Structure 1
Amino acid sequence: MLNYRDISNEIAAKFQVMNESPQVLVIKNGVVVAHQSHGAINNMNLSLFV
């Protein structure tokens, strides 16, 4: 969302990922261990990261 562009850009810079929308980041111990955007989000098996 454009309302949160500043926050999205800061997160993208901090975790060194491209800012896309929609997007899912899986962060474990301060490190991005997985990320996907758009249609690929549906294929993520989030149970792998519990």
Structure 2
Amino acid sequence: MTPGAALALFALLMMVGLLPVWPWSRGWSFRPAIAFGVLFTLVVMAWVTVLI
């Protein structure tokens, strides 16, 4: 993995880590939160597969 790709992945993970803090996401129920988590995991797995 190139340093630029690693930095971009780290920045994306940090941004998503702040998602529950953002005001517009506080009203979500658990179902959209679980669906978002599963979707995010699949996207990261696909991204890492492409980078490798």
TM-score of the superposed pair, with normalisation by structure 1: 0.28
Structure with greater proportional helix content: 2
TM-score of the superposed pair, with normalisation by structure 2: 0.27
- Indicate the structure whose relative CO is greater, using CA pairs within 8 Å and at least 6 residues apart: 2
